[in-house]
Amino acid sequence: MEELATELNQLVNDTRSNLHLYTDEQMRIKPKPDKWSRIEILGHLIDSAINNLKRFTEIPFMKNDFRFMTYAQDKLVKQNKYQEANYNLTLDLWSLLNRHIAYVIQQLAGSDLKQNVTLADGEVVTLEFLVIDYVDHLKHHLNQIFEPTRF
């Protein structure tokens, strides 16, 4: 997990550097009315970080009792009004949450990583799977933010 934590910290560094190339206006361009802008994608990643930080810290002490709950992604993006949010504060919050997640990942014991978690659909996966999936999900959405033809 040390490598994954290092990768996550590097993603934060690279993303912060690259996002400063965009103006506030460019961050708010929506490719279509029903699609997220760059800042809304970043907001979604904040919501994802909040939910996953809770999971990564609770699963080790809950043992086999942890049931993975989904969250209303689109509703949270609207409720948090990321489209109107302060760009710098949004970027700072995303960065700090992910730096803390990297720290939490580094602290996870091998036995914690093997712990089973029941997903909302009943599938059983390990905490290790969830941690790896979190970083993959993050990279997927960061690629969307930086995709030149999307906006």
Q: What pLDDT is recorded for position 68?
A: 75
Using only the alpha carbons of the chain, give its radius of gyration. Answer: 16
Residue with tokens 């993975």: 68
What CATH number labels 2-146? 1.20.120.450
Q: pLDDT tens digits, the chain, 151 residues: what are they?
A: 999 999 999 999 999 999 989 999 999 999 999 999 999 999 999 999 999 999 999 998 887 667 777 889 999 999 999 999 999 999 999 999 999 999 999 999 999 999 998 888 889 999 999 999 999 999 999 999 999 888 8
Q: Determine the Cα–Cα distance for residues 46 and 93; give it in Å rounded to an integer.
A: 7
Q: Which H or E run contains 110?
A: helix 110-113
Residue spans per domain, the chain: 2-146
By CB atoms closer than 10 A (0-12, 13-18, 19+), residue 4 is middle
- Give the pLDDT score at 108: 96
Strand partners, 116: 126
What is the reported pLDDT for 73? 93
- 118 vs 64: CA distance, rounded Å: 9
- Predicted TM-score (pTM) of this structure: 0.94
Which of 43, 136, 52, 139 has its CA nearest to residue 92? 43
Distance, in Å, from the CA atom of 59 to the CA atom of 140, rounded to the nearest integer, reads 24
C-alpha distances in Å from residue 83, one per residue of 22, 33, 114, 125 = 15, 12, 38, 34
